[in-house]
Structure 1
Amino acid sequence: MDIDKKGYRSLVRKYHPDLNPNDHESNKVFQQINEASEDDRKRQNRRSKC
């Protein structure tokens, strides 16, 4: 998943657990967004080292 910073920030803001305290689905989506972002950053770091 290739996420740009603006898209990432808007999704994180929309699904952040502090902004949706009683919505467990938004917490799951928030975790998936963070995992995808972390994977994308790792992939970009590997590309830049080659």
Structure 2
Amino acid sequence: LQKSIDNLFDMCHLVIQTIEQVGAYRLKIPNDADAANSRMNDKETTRQ
């Protein structure tokens, strides 16, 4: 039983780490998308 409880806490810790990593990655995506959109807008502006 103690081993199962230890495994449960280990898994909870891994879940928290995974959520933090994925959350940090997903927060960066909009910034990259905004940068790409601004570059696209700059190219369109120079064409006109």
TM-score by length of 1: 0.54
Distance apart, 1:33 and its partner CA: 0.3
Q: Percent identity?
A: 4
Which residue number in structure 1 is paired with residue 18 of structure 2? 40
Q: What is the aligned length? A: 28
Which of the residues 3, 6, 29 maps onto 2:7?
29
Unpaired segments ≥5 residues, structure 1: 1-22
Higher relative contact order (CA 8 A, sep 6+): 1
**Partner Cα distance (1:32, 1:24) in 2:** 12
Higher helix residue share:
2
RMSD, matched Cα: 0.4
